[in-house]
Amino acid sequence: MLRLSASAGPAAAAGRGRAIRKRGQAVVETALAIPVLMAMVWGIMGFGRLYTAQLAITNASREGARLGALGKPVLRIEDAVRQYLGGAAIAGDVRVAVQGVGGQAGDLVRVAVTAPVSNPVPVPGLPPSIPLSATTVMRIE
């Protein structure tokens, strides 16, 4: 004959049932939270990629404006900007606009750079590429 101790009574069985329900609740909560957390991490990484691309475009425009301030020709400025962006893995339809080259000391040189960057978070309804731009103005030395 099987004997049950006092601790194995109905109260103990009810306690085990509650523990199983709590574990099941934790599994459901985790299943609901993981997709939200993954989407947040994905968005943060995408924002970081766009921010890095914006920094590279800004630095490329500064590089071009610096060359313009030193009196370099427009073609050399455009090549330097494209080479800088190529090193940052930004290529394609890069537009470089240079104004004021060939002026006198104290005049302003303006270099504007626009480049499309692929959307790092391909969500329906968002464009496949995002145009980023930067403009730098320096005085001719």
Residue 94: CB atoms within 10 A of its CB come to: 17
pLDDT of residue 123: 79
Domain boundaries, the chain: 10-139
38-57: average pLDDT = 93
pLDDT of residue 3: 54
Q: What is the pLDDT of residues 60-104, one digit of tens each?
A: 999 999 999 999 999 999 999 999 999 888 888 999 999 999 889
pLDDT of residue 13: 53
pLDDT band at 122 (very low <50, low <70, confident <90, very high): confident
Q: What is the identity of the amino acid at 106?
A: G
Using only the alpha carbons of the chain, give its radius of gyration: 30
Instruction: Give the whole-angstrom CA distance, residue 113 versus residue 59.
Output: 10
| Nearest of 102, 103, 56, 57 to residue 76 by alpha carbon | 102
- Would you list the DSSP string of 9-22? SHHHHHHHHHHHHH
Residue 119 exposed, middle or buried by CB count within 10 Å (0-12, 13-18, 19+): middle
> Residue with structure tokens 């496949």?
128
| Average confidence score pLDDT of the chain | 86
pLDDT band at 23 (very low <50, low <70, confident <90, very high): confident
